[in-house]
Amino acid sequence: MTSPSSAPFPVPGALSVALSDAAPTVAPEAAGSAGRTPRTGRDVVVGVLAVQGDVREHIATVESLGARAVPVRRASELAAIDGLILPGGESTTMDKLTRTFGLAGPLRGLIDGGLPVYGSCAGMILLSDVIADPSTDRHGNPQQTLGGLDIVVRRNAFGRQRESFEADLAFAGLAATGPAAGDDPVRAVFIRAPWVEKVGADVEVLAQVPAAETPQAGPSDAAPGADLEPVARIVAVRSGNLLATSFHPEVTGERRVHELFIRMIRGEA
């Protein structure tokens, strides 16, 4: 994983041999947002927000790909990371703990500054600019997010645990990401999962649950309680350095999504 090069952008053939043998290198202007130099000269360090959730699975997946992963619970630990994963768990719990322990502010600053961030499930909710149905506390204050990703998410949109499901999904852009790449569908595990209800102009949709795979139609803002025809639901998106999935690749042994994220950190995807 180490590379002798200190070039600011990937040089074909010189970098990240383990991750990018077969992959075409993207043009520099496509990589990440301006103002943040992609990490290329040494191993990347991926932080995993560790206030609550399936931290262990994300760490194991990152490490299986040869990168370093470290749990992050304090603002002082943020300086050492090149990218951050917001894991699955309870978004309300993570919201409260990141605010109580002074992490939310610094995290928002880093996201604004172009830090690559990947959120799965609750992590997608934390990354979203808007929650369609935020939880509200006893004093009427709505749940907050870190934001940065121009999407509207709906929590538990596919239903409760009884409706939680797994399904095969086509996922755009994984085929070219590295040695774990392939055209096989992603076996996606959805656990009380959110979906993306709206995306902004700069947000790329990477995967959807097709209508036929959608267990239930879900709620309608226009006509509450109405039975809707099942429609395809957006469950994976990317915008610049931010990546989010409604589902949990980390619990199935699926490594290609994390591989894509590590390549984003390296400025290679």
State yes or no: is 248 an active-site residue: yes
Q: What is the rounded CA–CA span in Å between residue 148 and residue 127? A: 6
Q: What is the rounded CA–CA span in Å between residue 51 and residue 77? A: 13
Q: How far is the CB of 165 from other proteins (least distance, A)?
A: 5
Q: How far is the CB of 93 from other proteins (least distance, A)?
A: 5
Query: Residue type at 143?
Result: Q
Q: What is the rounded CA–CA span in Å between residue 64 and residue 253? A: 10
**Active-site pick, 58, 248, 254, 268:** 248
Quote the Cα angle for 248-205-196, to 5°.
65
**Active-site pick, 57, 58, 121, 258:** 121
Give whichever of 214 and 239 is closer to other proteins, judged by the CB atom.
Answer: 214
Quote the Cα angle for 78-147-250, to 5°.
65
Instruction: Concatenate the DSSP letters of all residues of 104-167 into one string.
Output: HHHHHHHHHTT--EEEETHHHHHHEEEESS--B-TTSPBP-----EEEEEETTTT-SGGG-EEE
What does the binding site for other proteins look like in residue numbers (CB under 8 A)? 50-57, 73, 88-90, 92-93, 96-97, 100-101, 121-122, 133, 135, 137-138, 155-156, 160-168, 183-185, 187, 189-192, 209, 212-215, 248, 251-252, 254
Q: How far is the CB of 95 from other proteins (least distance, A)?
A: 8
Q: What is the phi/psi pair of residue 183, to 5°?
A: -90, -5
Give whichever of 93 and 220 is closer to other proteins, judged by the CB atom.
Answer: 93
State yes or no: is 139 an active-site residue: no
Q: How far is the CB of 1 from other proteins (least distance, A)?
A: 25
Give whichever of 162 and 226 is closer to other proteins, judged by the CB atom.
Answer: 162
State yes or no: is 250 an active-site residue: yes
Which sequence positions are flagged as catalytic? 121, 248, 250
